Amino acid sequence: MRRITAALMLSVLLCLLCCSALAQTVSCPVGGFSVSLPDHFSEQPLSAEEPDLCFYWKGQKMTVLAYATYLGEVAGSDLFQVLTGSETDSGTTNWNGMNMLYATGVEGGTAYLMYSWMDRGNNVTLYFYYPAGDSSCIDTADRIMRSISFDAGH
């Protein structure tokens, strides 16, 4: 009986270690947050033409970008979002204690999911781009958002 219990506990421990090894933490210090991305995502070079781009990662089917645009302390924590008309849904949500605006939509064959919030005078926007109709990408975006953590100063 002890061997079965020990084997079961060892199996669970190995599974947890493998699962944690399958993620990488990516942070946007200026935006005050970090997320865990699956290990198949790779960092892409940032463009000097987009100084507010915090990070840019590509996975097998999904691209994740984060922007942090400083608006000044006068902006406070007022949430706002610019909608373009291609949205299929938008509203408010909360991830790990942060109130956010979200929007989903499709442009061409590419779907997007966007979250925006304010952090220390920065308007922070996290974008997910993926093939339209691919529900596995929606699940991946949800897992990434469940992993989001915010700096203590938010």
Return the pLDDT at 135. Answer: 86
| Whether pLDDT at 146 is above 50 | yes
Cβ-contact 29, 95 below 8 angstroms: no
For residue 90 the two structure tokens come to 């938008």
Q: What percent of the chain has pLDDT over 70?
A: 75
pLDDT tens per residue, range 51-105: 999 999 999 999 999 999 988 775 555 666 666 667 778 899 999 999 999 999 9
For residue 12 the two structure tokens come to 């669970």
| Whether pLDDT at 20 is above 50 | no
d(CA 152, CA 154): 6
Tell me which H or E stretch contains 14.
helix 2-21
Predicted model pTM? 0.79
d(CA 57, CA 65): 6
| Whether pLDDT at 121 is above 50 | yes
